[in-house]
Amino acid sequence: MQDVDMPHSRVAKIKGPDIWRSDATVEVTLHEHLLEGVSRTFALTIPQLPDGLRETVTNAYLLCRIADTIEDDPDLHAETKDGFHAAFLEAAESGRGARTFARTLWPQLAPGTLEAEIELIRKSPEVLRMTRQLRPGQREAILRCLTTMSRGMGHFERSRSHSGLEDVTEYERYCYFVAGVVGEMLTELFCDHSPLIEARRDDLEARAVSFGLGLQMTNILKDIWDDYESGVCWLPREVFEGNGYDLYELQPHHNGNGHAFAASMRDLIGIAHAHLREALDYTLVIPNHETGIRRFLIWAALLAVSTLRKIDANPLFTSGAQVKVSRRRVAAIVATSNVAIRSNFGLGALFSAAARGLPQNDGNGSSTNSKRKQASQ
């Protein structure tokens, strides 16, 4: 895939741990390096943001990934995770204990932890140092997000199992703590960036949580089997039971009950799709001259809805690689949205085309398509 509109003024990438310096330019480059290691999607979308906001959102994302790395580690006990979260939040708020936090955590990470995540933890003092250079309003928004995220993930961590979450309400609550709160944080950062965006705060806040929920729900559906291998399931039992599938018996080949599993997946695709339509509306609220922010948002939404299309076409997939969006599709999203980026009509048309055929959610935890089928039986 061709490179995406990377600003020409950016400094060259610096490799290796021995040459990081404390000056702001090199810290920004470190952030870019770490981002590329831990997120394919956000390494594509965050560089589209305007100067100043780009560095702030990169820092915020890396901080969220640090919290996520703590919570996802399969070898750390819940009480140990609570301790690391508390130390991390203290370091983020006051600057105290950052190096002790990093030196203590990274050797305890599970053997299968990605090298990029280990590097992120080892370099967390540098990430936290840049956090303290942000404006007070930016820091407050980020710390509020981290605090809510850490506490919420800790609550769900204590009840993690193969049997899933109880119902759609718990499913959405979990997604709020993991990603909905990030939508709220981004809204604060966007409003801080521009008075014109601040003037549209109410419209953005009404859709901010849905933006995060749509992206996270897509990730949960895509990552079912990776999570399964880690001993956890974040799917709502209520939806699967309604279709005659028992999540207590979840396994890749479904014991011959693939039809019920596929119907349940389609219901959940409908829920995620509904939230992503709110994400589209969120994008369209952003003033059309803010092309970088609109790219950041619409690319994430279109990548998510493209993933849902892949899952909808193959609901019995057994590996996330089978529903991964191709580089060719990513390139098409970039090219077509760049042409339409200032047009609300154009972006809406691109989204509708990308989502063609996906089930529509009726607001009650099941897709309209499934409800119609049930009503006809």
Lowest mean pLDDT among 1-5, 91-95, 144-148: 1-5
Region 197-218: mean pLDDT is: 97
Computed over every residue of the chain, the mean pLDDT equals 87
What's the DSSP call for residue 178? I
pLDDT top residue among 253 and 124: 124
pLDDT tens profile 174-193: 999 999 999 999 999 999 99
Distances (CA, A) of 47 to 172, 265, 332: 29, 33, 18
| Percent of the chain topping pLDDT 70 | 88
Q: What's the confidence (pLDDT) of residue 26?
A: 52
Q: Tokens 């990438």 belong to which residue?
A: 13
Query: Buried b vs exposed e over 35-70: b needs ≥16 C-beta within 10 Å?
Result: bebbbebbbbbbbbbeeebbbbbbbbbbbbbbbbbb
| Band of residue 1 on the pLDDT scale cut at 50, 70, 90 | very low
CA distance 306 to 268: 15
Q: What's the confidence (pLDDT) of residue 12?
A: 27
Please name the fold of domain 20-158.
Farnesyl Diphosphate Synthase (1.10.600)
pLDDT tens profile 305-344: 999 999 999 999 999 999 999 999 999 999 999 999 999 9
Query: Buried b vs exposed e over 332-371: b needs ≥16 C-beta within 10 Å?
Result: bbbebbeebbeebeebbebbeebbeebbebbeebbbbbbb
Domain spans, the chain:
20-158, 161-377
Region 113-122: mean pLDDT is: 94
CA distance 301 to 371: 25
- At residue 369, what is the residue type? N
Helix (H) or strand (E) holding 146: helix 136-157
Q: Where are the alpha helices (DSSP H) in 10-135?
A: 24-38, 40-45, 53-72, 78-94, 98-105, 115-122, 124-131
Q: What's the confidence (pLDDT) of residue 161?
A: 83
pTM of the model: 0.86
CATH architecture of 161-377: Orthogonal Bundle (1.10)
| Band of residue 276 on the pLDDT scale cut at 50, 70, 90 | very high
- At residue 26, what is the residue type? V
| Percent of the chain topping pLDDT 90 | 75
Region 7-28: mean pLDDT is: 37
pLDDT tens profile 26-37: 556 888 889 998
Flag whether pLDDT at 365 surpasses 80. Answer: no
Q: What's the confidence (pLDDT) of residue 220?
A: 97
Q: Are both 20-158 and 161-377 of the same fold? A: yes
Cα 104–226–167 angle (5° rounding)?
Answer: 100
Helix (H) or strand (E) holding 220: helix 201-222
Region 46-58: mean pLDDT is: 95
CA distance 223 to 235: 11
Lowest mean pLDDT among 119-123, 228-232, 359-363, 371-375: 371-375
